[in-house]
């Protein structure tokens, strides 16, 4: 939805930023759900920092939650324009934010593991797919062998062809080393994510990371 001419693209603090369900993107000039946007504030030294939890003090600027949009907003100096003051957006703002989103997702995976919601290893993943406990996602290391990916896909397809078929997403957003660190194991390539609140938190953060990495023409501004 396009904004009207008098719509403000900033909020006046974290309390206001948490109110409502929509905000104006400073880049596209479109009003979007806050789940599709990222809030940024200026630090005391003028550096622009992301406020993923929408809690940091000061006026907030909202930008579509893709790396392209964030990098473009920084390149065009839109943060200074929106805040009406001199600020500094780091050259690596988009890359740094992607690392933050990765870290948040991996931390959530660690929480799901501590809650007993992650089956680690090929054998346990295969067993989880054959068990009645719902599997909400399969994790496969992005640098894992193609043969392993095919075997897990076949096991998932077998489960999906049963009485209660449901598509099981495969998440390959992380390397084996990243999975090792998150799960406290070595050489993690396969894992199954079982249903539960902690798993939902991980999936939500994965969706945010996937959205951020997506090259979406809708996140591009004009002019």
* Interatomic CA distance for residues 63 and 47, integer angstroms: 16
For 98-211, CATH number out of 3.40.1280.10, 3.60.21.10, 3.40.50.920, 3.30.1330.30 equals 3.30.1330.30
Give residue-wise pLDDT tens across range 23-45. Answer: 999 999 999 999 999 999 999 99
pLDDT surpasses 60 at 220: no
Classified by CATH at the fold level, domain 10-91 comes out as: Hypothetical Cytosolic Protein; Chain: A; (3.30.1230)
Q: pLDDT class for 189, splitting at 50, 70, 90?
A: very high
* Interatomic CA distance for residues 131 and 151, integer angstroms: 17
Q: What is the pTM of this model?
A: 0.84
Q: Residue 193's beta-bridge partner residues?
A: 118, 137
* Interatomic CA distance for residues 40 and 52, integer angstroms: 8
Average confidence (pLDDT) over 169-187: 96
Chain mean position to CA 10? 22
* Domain locations in the chain as residue ranges: 10-91, 98-211
pLDDT surpasses 90 at 219: no
> Is residue 131 packed enough to be buried (19+ CB in 10 Å), middle (13-18) or exposed (0-12)?
middle
pLDDT at position 161, please? 56
Give residue-wise pLDDT tens across range 115-136. Answer: 999 999 999 999 999 888 899 9
Q: Give first-to-last CA distance, the chain, whole Å.
A: 18
Stretch (H or E) spanning 170: strand 170-171
SS3 118: strand
Residue 142 · residue 173 · CB < 8 Å: yes
pLDDT surpasses 60 at 80: yes
Give residue-wise pLDDT tens across range 57-78. Answer: 999 999 999 999 999 999 999 9
Q: pLDDT class for 5, splitting at 50, 70, 90?
A: very low
Calculate what percentage of the chain has a pLDDT beyond 70. Answer: 86
Average confidence (pLDDT) over 71-93: 95
Q: pLDDT class for 114, splitting at 50, 70, 90?
A: very high
pLDDT at position 3, please? 45
Q: pLDDT class for 221, splitting at 50, 70, 90?
A: very low
Of 9 and 197, which is predicted with more confidence? 197
* Interatomic CA distance for residues 220 and 209, integer angstroms: 18
* Interatomic CA distance for residues 33 and 22, integer angstroms: 4
Of 34 and 219, which is predicted with more confidence? 34
Q: pLDDT class for 151, splitting at 50, 70, 90?
A: confident
Average pLDDT taken over every residue of the chain:
88
């Amino acid at each position: 939805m396009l904004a009207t001419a008098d719509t403000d693209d900033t909020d006046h603090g974290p309390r206001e930023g948490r109110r409502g369900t929509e905000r104006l993107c400073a880049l596209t000039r479109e009003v979007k759900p806050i789940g599709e946007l990222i809030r940024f504030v200026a630090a005391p030294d003028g550096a622009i920092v992301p406020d993923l939890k929408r809690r940091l003090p000061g006026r907030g600027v909202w930008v579509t939650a893709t790396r392209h949009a964030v990098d473009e907003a920084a390149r065009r100096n839109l943060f200074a324009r929106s805040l009406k003051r001199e600020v500094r957006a780091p050259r690596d703002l988009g890359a740094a934010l992607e690392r933050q989103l990765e870290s948040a997702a991996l931390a959530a995976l660690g929480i799901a593991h501590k809650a007993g919601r992650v089956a680690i290893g090929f054998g346990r993943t295969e067993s989880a797919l054959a068990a009645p406990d719902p599997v909400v996602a399969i994790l496969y290391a992005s640098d894992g062998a193609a043969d392993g990916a095919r075997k897990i896909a076949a096991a998932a397809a077998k489960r999906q062809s049963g009485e209660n078929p449901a598509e099981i997403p495969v998440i390959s957003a992380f390397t084996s080393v990243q999975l090792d660190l998150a799960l406290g194991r070595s050489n993690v390539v396969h894992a199954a994510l079982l249903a539960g609140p902690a798993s939902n938190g991980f999936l939500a953060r994965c969706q945010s990371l996937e959205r951020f990495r997506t090259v979406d023409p809708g996140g591009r501004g004009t002019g």
